Chain A
Amino acid sequence: MSRITIDPITRLEGHGKIEIFLDKEGNVENAYLQIPELRGFEQFSVGRPAEEMPRITNRICGVCPEAHHMAGTKALDALFDIEPAPVVKKIREMFYNSFYCTDHTVHFYALGGPDFVIGPDGPPAERNVLGVIHKVGLEIGGQVIACRKRNHEVIQWLGGRGVHPVAGLPGGWSVAVTEEMRQKIEAIAKENVAFALFSLKLFEDVVLANKAYVDLILSDAYAHRTYYMGTVDENNHLNFYDGMIRVTDPEGKEFVKYEAKDYMKHVAEHVEPWSYLKFPYLKNIGWKGFTDGMDSGVYCATPLSRLNAADGMATPKAQEFFEKFYETLGSKKVKGRYQPVHARLATHWARLVELLYAAERMLELATDPEITDPHVRPIVTNTPTEGVGCVEAPRGTLTHHYKTDEKGILTRVNLIVGTTNNNAPIAMSIKKAAQGLIKKGVEVTEPILNMIEMAFRNYDPCMSCATHSLPGQMPLEVTIRDADGEVIEVVSQFVQ
């Protein structure tokens, strides 16, 4: 069997490699994403006081510390069996939506954007955030930086620290919102709404107006008919902070809706001998391999999945764009629900719809009369036993599960991080793209590698989940081996 490896050549932040195995004919037989395992997190945590977890787990990942902090804090609510006051929930949700405004912005403009703004087969020297700024203009680049800066300020005010928040307490939040702070946050949220609307307009002008891009988005090479997971409120509208976990089937019908604490009844993890990764799947359907369709337990948890799993958006402008999203991509309404969009590249657009929702929801909360209630720190009196906390991380449903002794010392810890939900779909997407692009006699070039990379980039995979050693990059190198394992060609994505 021949083997192609897309492999980083040095140890780097969040490195992974793509391995593509060819059959004797020279066609793609299998493709895997390999990520090194970070070991010993449970051992590290066991024996520590549970209330340290929101501060420890936000160190797991340098990309979304806020998501781990929030899931950890909610797990403490459950562990100490204390229902947060409405003001606590509102401050947390406002903080969390501000974080979404930073995270979704950077993905669209710096990471996913280059493929569309510059073009998937554009010169690699330009296909990056600098190229995007060159193309869309300095003023827009300035707006991106300003959006992140103002929301990082909100995160610092409300989270107690700029990068790794510390404000989460069991049943509480250590920072109350003053009227002065509220006014500033309201102004920032309004700017966020305007920026999100602008970004959606930019997407229409640059991507949707270009038929080649729309064809690419809707092409079969980037489609999988899987189940979809997302968190919904009592009206089955999307919520990032809290709600029930809802799973819809590939035809758009609700498959199950459950409370976060019951996740083990619904999700199981498959292991493969070739990977450290676990592949979560729907327990009540079963693991049928890396395949899609109604009979396969593979599900997906991404911005696209959250839209597919919800009936709509809880804020008015985001709802308008939600409808436009489905109408434009050819989805029909069946029994009042849009049928799911299976085109994975549409995730980039879904992410912008979510950006608008995050901005609108932040504004709603900033103008909520209750938000300045100072009673944010309750006294904990219950003996802890076990708790599950769940939020929608930008990259998927994030679950923290802690067990402790009666003194609150951790005895068990289990986490399912956002990207992990998508391990199977990512593997499937890479394989499908590789099968479509690498065929006997076709030269493997940089644009082809990039098209394969695009298949997993739309998931916004967070493989770093911790390390930041210099130089912090993910170059790709493909080694093509013949049937005897001899290197016959090396293709590199490097720009010299």
Chain B
Amino acid sequence: MKTLIVGLGNPILTDDGVGVKVAYAVEEALRRNPFSDRKRVSKDDLTITEASVGGLRLMEMMIGYDRVILIDAIMRHNGHKPGDIFRLSTHDLREISLTQHNASAHDTTLATALEVAERMGQPLPKEVIIFAVEVEEIFVFSDEPTPAVAAAIPKVAKMVLEEIFKT
């Protein structure tokens, strides 16, 4: 199963890059723990990368994979604490994204971008799983996340690894 793992966010904007740091942690864990006894995914099937993009460009990266796991920062401001971890689907994403128009001034939402690709008949992944970490600070340049978010990184990495090898 051709699987793409993307750590999203800006790695030099405090908590925004939590997804990127998780992706590195996953890569490191796989380097230490090779694939020998794994069934569903072989080393050649797995691509781990990072990107500070959203919407259309992210969708374009996903074309041609069977399964995509995204890790990103999220800020929901409704009672969630920094470091809280959410496992979301693209359906959930659409629930959060109330509007299709103008995701940002220069992009669309991922949900809209995926819908575009689907209508174009592009080969999209059958499974898209999103791990999101509630973040605290995303306006200050720093490559160190805040403590609660830093503590979530190994937890999310473990969840991603379990997801990769889930049968």
Contact = CB atoms under 8 A, between A and B. Distances in A.
Chain B binds chain A: yes
Interface of A: 10-16, 36-41, 43-44, 56, 59-63, 65, 106-107, 110-111, 114, 124-125, 127-130, 133, 138, 141-142, 145, 148-149, 152, 162-164, 453, 456-457, 460-464, 466-476, 493-496
A145 B60 contact: yes
Nearest to A461: B105
A429 B18 CA distance: 37
A468 B110 contact: no
Nearest to B117: A145
Nearest to A146: B120
Given A10-B75, A129-B112, A145-B60, A472 B103 contact: yes
A124 B98 CA distance: 12
Contacts of B99: 124, 473, 475, 493-495
B30 interface: no
Given A14-B105, A162-B61, A494 B98 contact: yes
A163 B74 contact: no
Interface in B10-56: 10-13, 16, 49, 51-56
B105 A474 contact: yes
B16 A473 contact: no
A473 B103 contact: yes
Tier of interface size on chain B:
35 or more
B75 A40 contact: no
B60 A38 contact: no
Contact of A163 (B52, B72, B104, B112): B52
Given A466-B52, A467-B138, A62 B10 contact: yes
A118 to B, nearest CB: 10
Contacts of A469: 9, 16, 72-75, 135, 138
A401 B138 CA distance: 25
B109 A141 contact: no
Given A13-B107, A128-B100, A473-B102, 19 more contacts: A13-B54, A14-B106, A15-B104, A16-B105, A37-B139, A56-B12, A62-B52, A63-B107, A128-B112, A129-B116, A130-B119, A138-B119, A163-B61, A457-B102, A467-B13, A468-B8, A468-B9, A468-B10, A475-B99
Contact of A474 (B63, B102, B115): B102
From A39, A40, A472, A476, name the one whose CB has the most chain B CB atoms within 10 angstroms. A472
Contacts of A142: 120-121
Given A10-B77, A11-B77, A493-B99, A111 B139 contact: no
Contacts of B106: 14, 63, 106-107, 111, 460-462, 464
B74 A114 contact: no
Contacts of A41: 141
Contact of B104 (A10, A125, A472): A472
A8 to B, nearest CB: 10
Interface of B: 8-13, 16, 49, 51-57, 60-61, 63, 72-77, 88, 93, 96-110, 112, 115-117, 119-122, 130, 132, 135, 138-143
A488 to B, nearest CB: 23
A106 B130 CA distance: 25
Contact of B141 (A40, A133, A476, A493): A40
A365 B57 CA distance: 26
A215 B164 CA distance: 56
Contacts of A467: 9-10, 13, 16, 138-139
Nearest to A58: B52
B109 to A, nearest CB: 5
A471 B96 contact: yes
Nearest to B105: A461
